[in-house]
Chains A and B, each alone.
Chain A
Amino acid sequence: MKYYRALSKTAGIVIAIIIIIGIAAGAYYYIQSQKTTTGKLITFVPLTGDFHKDIINVGKALEQDGVKTVQFSVWSGGDPNSVMRIYGIVEAAYRINNIWKQNNINVEIKVSTRYVSNPNDVYEDYINKWSLGQAPDIMANGYTYIASLASEGYILDLTPYLNNYTSFLNQFYPTLIEAMKWKGKIYGIPQDTEARPLYIRKDVAACAGLDLSGLAEKIKNGQFTWSDLYKWALKVKESGCAPWGLIHRKGSAHPDLIQFIYAFGGKLYDEKTGKLVFDKAAVYKWFTVEKTFADHGLLPHDMMSWDWAKQIHPTVVDGKTLAFIGGTWHWFEWQTKAYYTDPKTGQQRPLTAEEVHKFFYYTLFPSGIKGKHGLTLSQPFAWMINSKAGEQNPNYDKLKDLYHELAFLVVVKASDPDIIAIHSLISGHLPVTKTAAELIKNKTWVEELKSLKIKLDPVVLNNIKGIIEKTVNPINVQFLANVTYMLEYTTFTPKHPQYPKLASLFAEALDQVLRDKMTPAQAVNFIVEKIKADPDLEKSVEIVGEIPQNWTFP
């Protein structure tokens, strides 16, 4: 009885009135937000493939529909120099707003951004928040996520839009467009790509009497293989020129090492069956090469758990190894992060562009088979558009298609050659279009960029000018131009949703091999057992080949 007395009649009435007022206010606000215009709404504008015309048509349609502001959000992640992965969209919106202004269209795109250090966190957040309608409208992230995002219907199939934009599509390197596909449809627009060169210390090689002239060409043609590199590393160690012959990145950076599988003629994905491939022979050879290096003290036994900033990079930039399996972005990272210990002062500092150029020779990843060309591996980033893009904007249910078209056109604009070229020059990633690659070679334009005379959204310019000052110089421009050829020899990791599981098994097994806890054959069988222990993985992976009996290294 006390319960009923606890709330007096008057208090009950007051609470009920407050609740009713709240509900009424909410309903009124909702009705008002939907009532943005009178008359018939334009819900779709046929795209012509002429960007200028299309963006004006979309702008006019939005204006007529009573939309004054379109809110878009963009998320991405990566190293601090790669911020154009979000500012590319901000810049595109700025350019579109200017076009609309010039054509007296009273609509504006406003972009909110989020950039974090780990792109995987962006992906995780995206899938967590998609159902809640809180995922970003546009995301720049690794192409490997396309498979799971597309299969869930989380991202927009861009094929119908691109059917009208064939000349736009043809600007991109065809291999990159292939990487954007899932089940024959295109779900992303390439944002950047990279190559993973093998860096060789010029000073260490000279100390051991090794001749680097023409090496890149020999590796490209398959005349210099991993057996040759092993012999070089041994010579360096024996002559005391460096404590290590080879350093590579740690466990979480397995894509670098996946190159070994391709170098030994193996594959990771079967296009016909759509399944992942575990090639026992190629993986066995990879493990054997690394074990041989480790057994002779040329590669650390605990390589897979080395610390990035305190061990891996200082060892490389201080010249304590002959070779390093890295990425193009490292060329720039060594110039911005203090990994190098200056022999004169004993202090750590970044290398200068001149020093990086003086110390490092770069080439493709050597083949494991004589006569087979060298290779590299790319993991392009893609602009992906949320299948609910524009959801935060007025009349979304009716204007959905129009918002999607606008999001697509924003991404088209973000692929302007100068936006791609700026991203490449400040982050060390390779341009994804031929026109951007040409622009990088244009000295006048590069000079304008360096002196910050280039026309950009002031917000964007303000956020990247510090990076431009540090990274844009003739040596880096030349580096990018020199490594772009590697894209012709590039390979990719599979886009299969189960691939990360398989990749982490590779890293796990290799660690055991390097630490001498498993032989290469045991490690291969261990992976087979692990695949078979997981019903999903077992269904997704074809196990092919056998451990070779008479194969030896070097």
Chain B
Amino acid sequence: MAKSNLFSKIKGFVRSDAFIFLLPAIILIIVFYLIPIAVSVYMSFTPLRNWNIQRYIHEFVGFENYWRFFYMVTHDPTVQPIFITTVVFIVVTLIVNVLGGLGLAIATFFMGEKEASGTQLLWLLPRMTPIAVYSMIWYYFFHGSAIGTLNSILMALGIIHHPIDWGQSIIPWGPWMIIIFVNGLVGVSYGMIVFTSAISNIPKELVIAARVDGASNWSITKNILIPLLKWHIVYVTTWQMLSLLTTYDHIFLLVEWGLVNRYWGTTWALYIYNMAFTAAEKDLGLAAAAGVILVIVGAVLGLLALKIMGFDKMVKEPRGDI
């Protein structure tokens, strides 16, 4: 009875207008999210290596890849600093990204149109610059010898007399500062774009009315803009947190080039990448197992974030007594 009820519900949904409207999005989610997750889960139970799909795809190794993953994590002497670095990196960079993006969006809201678009463009540069070029700029900026721009400036100003190896000698603060700064600068622009477009949709009458009543920029921000941006803050925070959990591209280059300490500059995602891909053999089964675990961790953290930020309350139907 229950089955036929469910079947008729699905049938009803498929025949509804809602389904037609949602169809493109449903296809995209299936093709780009659900199928890759299913493939990753399948791969994690195979000994797939070196992209040799033809050879390994029908072999099944059970939970061996998961066992190997946990074995490596629990026996590796360098895991502890990497774990601490990951937590610090995500928390601090997230705060920088969300507050920075929000601050920039609000600041540009109070600017003239020309100044605002100029400022926004400037902050978009880190995101537009190719990863290798962007990382190279900060590599030379923070370089620990006299060729480093920061060291040269400080030495020219007489503040320091010898170059400081920022990413290698001031452990752990130096490498943390560098990876957070480099990633934070890229992430800020994302929040800025989302918040700017959200602010532009706030009815102007509210701001004009507040101005007429003599409200300052701060009280407009506090009492109008931020409350109306609640949805967007939840979205950007959750999105950026998940993104930071899996990001490793800039950090990979900074560690590889020796700018930052290998242990206090490596995050979880980079650790997994190195674990699976450093050998000449590309251990894709292991990488898939680690990826599945990362998806689970990400999902738990994402749900937790939504819970903490009161997402449930936000999606409740209005009571109609406003």
Contacts and interface: CB of A to CB of B under 8 A. Distances in A.
Given A311-B145, A498-B281, A2 B77 contact: no
B72 to A, nearest CB: 6
B321 interface: no
A150 to B, nearest CB: 11
B51 A127 contact: yes
B55 A152 contact: yes
B280 A147 contact: yes
A130 B258 contact: no
A500 interface: yes
Please classify how large the interface on chain A is, using the bins under 10, 10 to 19, 20 to 34, 35 or more.
35 or more
A536 interface: yes
B50 interface: yes
A138 to B, nearest CB: 19
Contact of B258 (A304, A499, A534, A535): A304
Given A3-B19, A152-B55, A310-B147, A533 B75 contact: yes
A52 interface: no
* Majority secondary structure, A binding face: helix
A4 B273 CA distance: 48
Interface in A124-180: 127-128, 130-131, 144-145, 147-148, 152-154
B256 A152 contact: no
Interface string A293-306: 00000000010111
Nearest to B256: A252
B147 A535 contact: no
B262 A508 contact: yes
A1 B19 CA distance: 11
Contact of A533 (B72, B279, B281): B72
B20 A500 contact: no
Nearest to A252: B256
Interface in A262-294: none
Contact of A131 (B20, B53, B77, B258): B53
B201 interface: no
B230 interface: no
B184 interface: no
B3 interface: no
Contacts of A153: 52, 55
Interface string A446-462: 00000000000000000
A529 B77 contact: yes
A59 interface: no
B258 A250 contact: yes
B288 to A, nearest CB: 15
Please classify how large the interface on chain B is, using the bins under 10, 10 to 19, 20 to 34, 35 or more.
35 or more
Contacts of B71: 533, 535
Nearest to B165: A302
Contacts of A147: 280
Interface in A515-537: 515, 526, 529-530, 532-536
Given A302-B165, A504-B278, A152 B20 contact: no
A533 B78 CA distance: 10
Contact of A500 (B49, B145, B165, B278): B278
A497 B50 CA distance: 11
Contacts of B19: 3
A318 B204 CA distance: 66
A511 interface: yes
A534 B169 CA distance: 28
Interface string A101-132: 00000000000000000000001000110110
A131 B278 CA distance: 21
B259 interface: yes
Interface in B258-296: 258-259, 262, 275, 278-283
Contacts of B68: 535-536
* Majority secondary structure, B binding face: loop
B46 interface: no
Nearest to B277: A124
Contacts of A310: 147
A500 B280 contact: yes
Contacts of B49: 152
Contacts of B257: 305
B280 A148 contact: yes
B77 A497 contact: no
A374 interface: no
A530 B77 contact: yes
A144 B279 CA distance: 11
Interface in B149-169: 165, 168-169
A251 interface: yes
A238 interface: no
Contacts of B72: 533-535
Given A130-B51, A152-B55, A305 B279 contact: no
A307 interface: yes
B218 to A, nearest CB: 46
B271 to A, nearest CB: 12
Contacts of B281: 148, 497-498
Interface string B281-316: 111000000000000000000000000000000000
B15 A3 contact: yes
Interface string B46-77: 00011111110000000000001001100111
A402 B68 CA distance: 44
A535 B67 CA distance: 10
A250 to B, nearest CB: 7
A498 B144 contact: no
Nearest to A129: B51
B113 interface: no
A511 B283 CA distance: 26
Nearest to B259: A305
A305 B258 contact: yes
Contacts of B278: 500-501, 504
A6 interface: yes
A140 to B, nearest CB: 17
Given A131-B54, A306-B258, A536-B283, 6 more contacts: A2-B17, A3-B15, A148-B281, A154-B50, A497-B280, A533-B72
7 closest cross-chain pairs (CB), A and B: A305-B258, A533-B75, A533-B76, A497-B281, A148-B280, A501-B279, A497-B280
14 contacts: A3-B15, A145-B280, A148-B50, A152-B50, A302-B144, A302-B165, A305-B259, A306-B145, A307-B145, A501-B279, A530-B76, A530-B77, A533-B72, A534-B72
